[in-house]
Structures are given as structure tokens and as C-alpha cells.
Amino acid sequence: MKNPTGVDSKEFGLAAGLVFARYFLKTDHLHYGYWPDDLPVDILNLRKAQEAYCDVLLSHIPDGVRSVLDVGCGTGALSRKLIDRGLEVESVSPSPFLTARARELLGERGVIHESTFEDLTLDRKFDLILFSESFQYVKLDRVFVKCRDLLEEGGHVLLCDFFKRDNPGGKSGLGGGHPLASFYRKLEDAGFRIVLDTDLTARIAPSMDLVADFLESFGKPMWDLMLYALESNRPILNRLARWKYRRKIAKIERKYFSGRRNAASFAAEKSYRLVLCKPVAPEVGN
């Protein structure tokens, strides 16, 4: 997804999402949120859902963990919670924009490595490597070998993210996520054993209905308004631009404004999982 001439489009999306979320929702989290039964699905409750997610994730940290590598730390909000719990935390962030925010949030307490996980070189190891909705961004081919190198003996990997279902039931155009079957295969090939694997799809998917509502109630009217203003004020330029970028425009309209991105399509196409795994100890003599 790297654009050699400019900013990576996914990183741009995350940074733009953060600007929006911080201003309107007063949240620093960049994850979807976890919806317990008693929390109404409402944009004003998103922050509560995100806090609930943090609680669920952190409750799965195995006993005895003292050091954590938080991969793809976003704004550092989760790293800060880990530090507050007395854990020794180092964070990984390839995005200059998000790293700046994480440095602000963590101050002197944070050790942030400005790198992708793939390019990370460290001369120390950790009890836990955490991927909170950052796993889909790392290269599946290399991730477990790298984790093995960075884990203390007896250490774990804890990840929470969505994967592509093997036989998706729909076609919403919702991108992202490694194929679930490849994930399990790579994990096994790299000599990892699953300690716990929980399907959280139904708890996470409601956030997609909030996205759908946002696109329908805000995104589409703003888009129409912009096109209307262009047509009214610069009709020739508008027609030229609409013709030149017709494929891009059609793609945007198909992707964001066709009403296909919602909780139901997310649940049909993706599987959101919390996975705790660890390397199988090499056999004695190997």
C-alpha cells in the first residue's frame, strides 16, 4: 500500500480518522470497540465501547507478564494503560503522525520505535507481543518468525483483529484482513500453538452500523453538496474532472455510498478474533 511519491493511503486514513475521532468523540483509540449487551449502539457510546475493548484485551494478558511490545501503538493510548498497570512497555509505530501523538501521550514514560514491525531491530526480548488491530497491516509471511526472535522463553503473542472469512457470504467491498485459513497455517508452520482463540465478530460488528449511518447521514450529503457547489460555480471544470476521474469517483461512490458497508456485511465477510498463542518449545536435542 506504499505510494512511492507520497503518504501511504492506509496511514492517511488512520490519521484522518484520529483527527475526526479526537474532535467529535473525544477518543484517542483507533480500534472498533466492543459492544456488551447492555451498551446501546450509538456513536456517543463509541468511546465506552472502546474502553470495554481495552478491558477485554487486557484481561487476556497472561499471569507473569512483565514486559510488553505494543506493535502498531497508534496514539499510544493502550501503551499508556499497560504502563499504568506497572508493565514495562515498548511501542512500535511506523506512522510519523501517530508517533508524534503517542510521544505526547506517553512523554518520558514511553519508549517508541519509529519503524514497521518487519523492519524492527532490537537487542532485547519481551514476555508479550501485542497486536491491537495492527496485525492485518504486518506481512503474514514474516510476522511469526519475527515474533519468535523477540519473545522471551515462555512468552506469548496476543492479537485482536479481523480476518477474511474463507468463503465470504457477501461483497461489500470492505477491504483488509489476512485470510483466516492462511493465518492459521502460517501460525502452525512457524511452530506456534494457540492457547485461546475467541470469535468476537458479533461484539465488534455493531461499530460498522455506526460507520454506515455516518456515511449515509453525513458523508453522502457532504459529497453531494460538494459536487453541487462545483457544478454551480465551476461547471466546465466539474465536468472535466468528473470525466477524467470517472473511475475513481465511481469507486468512491460504490465503496462508501452504496449502503453495503454495515454490521451484517462485516459479519458475513470478516471474522474478528482474539488470539493468544505461543511458540512451541523446541524439542530437546534439536
Ligand X SMILES: C[S@@+](CC[C@H](N)C(=O)[O-])C[C@H]1O[C@@H](n2cnc3c(N)ncnc32)[C@H](O)[C@@H]1O
Phi, psi of 151 (to 5 degrees): -95, 140
Give the residue among 125, 16, 119 at the shortest CA–CA distance from 68.
Answer: 125
The residue type at 58:
L
Per CB under 6 A, does 116 bind ligand X? yes
Residue 49 near residue 207, CB atoms below 8 Å: yes
45/116 with CB nearer ligand X: 116
49/73 with CB nearer ligand X: 73
3/217 with CB nearer ligand X: 3
Which of 72, 110, 155, 206 binds ligand X (CB under 6 A)? It is 72
Q: In angstroms, give the least distance from the CB of 275 to ligand X.
A: 15
- Count Cα atoms within 13 angstroms, Cβ side, for 111: 10
Handedness of CA 270, 141, 7, 129 (dihedral sign): positive
Stretch that binds ligand X, among 41-49, 68-76, 207-215, 260-268 (CB under 6 A): 68-76
Per CB under 6 A, does 128 bind ligand X? no
Per CB under 6 A, does 138 bind ligand X? yes
35/137 with CB nearer ligand X: 137
Per CB under 6 A, does 98 bind ligand X? yes
Per CB under 6 A, does 110 bind ligand X? no
Per CB under 6 A, does 49 bind ligand X? no
Stretch that binds ligand X, among 58-66, 111-119, 167-175, 202-210 (CB under 6 A): 111-119
Q: In angstroms, give the least distance from the CB of 105 to ligand X.
A: 11
Per CB under 6 A, does 83 bind ligand X? no
- Contacts with ligand X, residue ranges (CB under 6 A): 14, 29-31, 71-74, 78, 92-95, 98, 116-118, 132-134, 137-138
